[in-house]
Amino acid sequence: MDKFLSLQLFVASAEYGSFSRAAEQRDMTPSAVAKSIRRLEAEVGARLFERTTRSMALTEAGLLYLENARDILERMRETEEEIAQLQHSLKGTLRVTGPLSFGRPFLNAACARFLQAHPQMSLQVDLSDQYIDLLDGHYDMALRLGQSDLPGLIAQPIGESRVVLCASPEYLRRHGTPMHPMQLAAHECLVYRHPALGDSWVLEKDGERHAIKRKGRLGSDNLELLLEACLAGQGVIACPYWSVLPYLHAGRLQAFLGDYAFDRKALGAQLQAVYPSTRRATRKIAVFIEHLRTYLNEEGMSARSGEGA
């Protein structure tokens, strides 16, 4: 039995917690799987499983071996896909994660177009506002807002971003449109809780900086929730231009103080695609990144496209 198959059987046995279930997946007998595991244990010189008549569990050595075995199998899968793609059209599965706020503004439609363009590709897209560790191997890449300089990761920009202030026309009719940043102190702020934002909105014009402490009855780490409140006339919001572009075009939101620049460190100046350095830029990752760049540019969602908002 070859080493590659032995690794697959070991990983399957660890994940299922059973030689029998691993055997079912490979159309083998449980005794053949157990024999393969014993051969691996002899090679590494340590027990990988603690086995009783009723249960089995990984040993400390088994946990370490599992982590590396998964990595080896994943790299083999990627290499096989890359070799196949040298002569054939793009195919395989790309696993992507990103924040919830990316979905409706651009990622939903961008993914649909990508699948149309590459019929042999599959996408697994999971959106969450929780930080996802890419080094655990569950995802090929992540989409993030702002700088990403964590060790072991490579970041590539896919589009520019800037923060705009906006509110619904109804809210501005009732409360007036701020003409100066300091007037924001008298308005109901919809507070987006994000590590990069701090406690104040900082705007700059002609070398003068104005810091306005964010105050409001509604705060959340979910941008979608705050946008719904803004559309309902509940206050003013500071958010990325691309996230409100459809509402600006439809007249449901109105931007103001556009001649002031929001602190470029707030939420970051770029949309970025991030992937583990050990995974390199496989062709499917590179093609998806370029697809997103093209989509954002064509839809006018970059900072340059929004300067007149």
Instruction: Report the alpha-carbon distance of residue 89 to residue 110 in Å, rounded.
Output: 19
Q: Both 227 and 173 in a single domain?
A: yes
Domain count across the chain: 3
Q: Which residue has the higher pLDDT, 94 or 55?
A: 94
Q: pLDDT by residue (tens digit) across 90-100? A: 888 899 999 88
Residue 267 has pLDDT above 80, yes or no: no
Q: Both 248 and 193 in a single domain?
A: yes
3-state helix, strand, coil in the chain (%, to 5): 45, 25, 30
pTM confidence score: 0.65
Q: Both 189 and 177 in a single domain?
A: yes
Cβ-Cβ contacts under 8 Å for 71 (sequence gap 6 or more): 137, 278
Q: Which of 39, 54, 86 is the last residue before a domain boundary?
A: 86
Q: Both 205 and 255 in a single domain?
A: yes
Q: Which of 35, 53, 86 is the last residue before a domain boundary?
A: 86
* Model pLDDT, residue 309: 41
Q: pLDDT by residue (tens digit) across 170-200? A: 999 999 999 999 999 999 999 988 765 667 8
Q: Both 60 and 182 in a single domain?
A: no
Q: How high is the mean pLDDT of the chain?
A: 86
Mean pLDDT, residues 103-116 taken together: 92
Instruction: Report the alpha-carbon distance of residue 191 to residue 189 in Å, rounded.
Output: 6
Q: pLDDT by residue (tens digit) across 74-88? A: 778 777 766 766 656
For residues 179, 180, 181, 187, the Cα torsion angle rounded to the nearest 10 degrees is: -50
* Model pLDDT, residue 131: 76
Instruction: Report the alpha-carbon distance of residue 3 to residue 22 in Å, rounded.
Output: 16
- Strands 163-167 vs 236-240: parallel, antiparallel or unpaired: antiparallel
* Model pLDDT, residue 264: 65
Q: Is residue 252 in a domain?
A: yes
Cβ-Cβ contacts under 8 Å for 247 (sequence gap 6 or more): 166, 227, 231, 253
* Model pLDDT, residue 197: 62
CATH of the domain at 291: 3.40.190.10
Structure tokens at 189: 């702020």
Q: Is residue 234 in a domain?
A: yes
Give the DSSP H or E segment for 249.
Answer: helix 241-250
* Model pLDDT, residue 104: 85
Share of the chain above pLDDT 90, in %: 44
| 249, 133 Cβ separation under 8 angstroms | no
| 166, 236 Cβ separation under 8 angstroms | yes
Q: Both 168 and 255 in a single domain?
A: yes
Structure tokens at 51: 């086995």
Residue 126 has pLDDT above 90, yes or no: yes
Q: Is residue 136 in a domain?
A: yes
Q: Is residue 306 in a domain?
A: no
Mean pLDDT, residues 23-32 taken together: 88
Q: Which residue has the higher pLDDT, 301 or 45?
A: 45
* Model pLDDT, residue 268: 63
Angle at which helices 3-16 and 60-87 cross, to 10°: 120
Q: Both 243 and 200 in a single domain?
A: yes
Residue bearing tokens 């940043």:
181
Residue 47 has pLDDT above 60, yes or no: yes
Residue 279 has pLDDT above 80, yes or no: no
- Strands 270-276 vs 254-256: parallel, antiparallel or unpaired: unpaired
Residue 168 has pLDDT above 90, yes or no: yes
Residue 304 has pLDDT above 50, yes or no: no
Q: Is residue 55 in a domain?
A: yes
Write out the residue range of the structural domain in which residue 28 sits. 3-86
Q: Is residue 130 in a domain?
A: yes
Mean pLDDT, residues 275-289 taken together: 82
Q: Both 272 and 211 in a single domain?
A: no
* 182-195 core/surface letters (b: 16 or more CB in 10 A; e: else): eebeebbbbbbebe
Residue 251 has pLDDT above 80, yes or no: yes
Q: Both 177 and 139 in a single domain?
A: no
